[in-house]
Structure 1
């Protein structure tokens, strides 16, 4: 077991979201205290109801079912202790699992797909990572001037190798965390294809330009097919892993 913990991931989300887990809502107003250091809960008030975001650290467990059961003993079976009424429903609640894996294998992929496709109780996302990816990301972040991420993260990675271990970790973080709003939309920007390749990614190498254009085309195809955020995220991750 290593010293990676949930608080590190939450801090990075805060940095990207301008200081709070839920954008523009102070943590002291959105956090619901839970009796575990491995599970956190934040909510986003809406005109009707609210959205709930659970964050759960699976560590480097190899027994995923047992780890999930331990987490659900808090998030499901004892929810009357942390929220009044019926609590969140699958349509308005999300859980993001952080899971350290030895390597991305076919069996790991099947475990993730099985978990994410089961939307009983809440919509599920699995942010998986290897120790080498985590260490590469921490090293990359440590070399930044202020050692922090920021709200313009897509522009701050200009010139980076998007297929490196550090960038794979970061891009997966952006994709797998539903409370992180991406700062651009294709239909709002002129020459979107060129913007992605040059202004956001800053790629000069022809091979990497083609890779970025392929990614852009994949995004546009997903939007044309009206895929859900979960489906878009999974398709992009699958594309990066190929």
Structure 2
């Protein structure tokens, strides 16, 4: 199993919208895979791509596959492209590249789920040791703070639209700790956008006791203000 298939296996264990997976392309020589996910009750389509390239190069690779290798109809407003990108660390140069890709909605709406080699190794080691990742991960592990594993999975939840965002109050109480973990791992560079995202989350937690309302506000703020999408459109 290559790293791309491994990452997708983690997503499939989480609580995702009902739908069907289809492998569109896989090449072990150039280390790349492309999957499509079709929700059961939505016209939207989600493409998941992994390769050992930077985000802009990954988009070119996907475009080439769609144009020349596979039969796939692209409806720009209904097609999402999730890129799995390995980075050494989230520094200014890499972060600007990620933002540039995500803000460009030509042909697909794009999300870059970045990770480090250290995070990936830690994830694999934990699973080999018997650590369980399933659809109740957040509910069952809200007390679990591991600098690599928890932050990585939380990043997946934010970056992958098909993962359901069903929060309990105790999970919301852990958000600040999760962001502190992210800040610690990225302390050499703090982009303004990360701080803005952080404040959008923190600002809604102390003022509301209803966890459903808090969760709605968090997701709405993250999507509408950072990704530019409507909440209902994002989750549909």
TM-score, normalised to structure 1, is 0.67
Distance 1:23 1:67, change over 3 A: closer
**2:139 aligns with one of 155, 166, 171:** 155
Whole-Å Cα distance in 2 between the matches of residues 181 and 209 of structure 1? Answer: 18
Q: Residue 166 of structure 2 corresponds to which residue in structure 1?
A: 183
Whole-Å Cα distance in 1 between the matches of residues 179 and 148 of structure 2? Answer: 19
Q: Does the Cα contact within 8 Å between 2:18 and 2:40 map onto a contact in 1?
A: no
SS of the counterpart of 1:34? strand
Q: Residue 109 of structure 1 corresponds to which residue in structure 2?
A: 95
Shift of 1:139: 2.5
How many positions carry a matched residue from both structures?
198
Whole-Å Cα distance in 1 between the matches of residues 119 and 36 of structure 2? Answer: 26
Whole-Å Cα distance in 1 between the matches of residues 125 and 219 of structure 2? Answer: 38
Q: Residue 68 of structure 1 corresponds to which residue in structure 2?
A: 59
Whole-Å Cα distance in 1 between the matches of residues 126 and 117 of structure 2? Answer: 14
* Higher Cα Rg, which structure: 1
Q: Does the Cα contact within 8 Å between 1:222 and 1:232 map onto a contact in 2?
A: no
Q: Residue 229 of structure 1 corresponds to which residue in structure 2?
A: 223
TM-score, normalised to structure 2, is 0.69
**2:86 aligns with one of 100, 103, 109:** 100
Q: Residue 153 of structure 2 corresponds to which residue in structure 1?
A: 170
Q: Residue 124 of structure 1 corresponds to which residue in structure 2?
A: 110
Can you list the C-alpha shifts for 1:147-200, whole angstroms capped at 9, x where unaligned? 4411111112232226x121111110111110111123xxxx7xx4x6622xxx
Q: Residue 6 of structure 2 corresponds to which residue in structure 1?
A: 8
Can you list the C-alpha shifts for 1:39-89, whole angstroms capped at 9, x where unaligned? 111212436xx1111000032x35x433321221113x248x524xxx332
SS of the counterpart of 2:24? coil
Question: Which ranges in structure 1 are unaligned for 5 or more consecutive residues?
Answer: 235-242
SS of the counterpart of 1:98? strand
Q: Residue 34 of structure 1 corresponds to which residue in structure 2?
A: 24
Whole-Å Cα distance in 2 between the matches of residues 173 and 137 of structure 1? Answer: 13
Shift of 1:133: 1.2
Distance 1:210 1:7, change over 3 A: closer
Whole-Å Cα distance in 2 between the matches of residues 133 and 125 of structure 1? Answer: 19
SS of the counterpart of 1:36? strand
Whole-Å Cα distance in 2 between the matches of residues 117 and 148 of structure 1? Answer: 34
Q: Residue 238 of structure 1 corresponds to which residue in structure 2?
A: none
Q: Residue 41 of structure 2 corresponds to which residue in structure 1?
A: 46
Shift of 1:4: 4.3
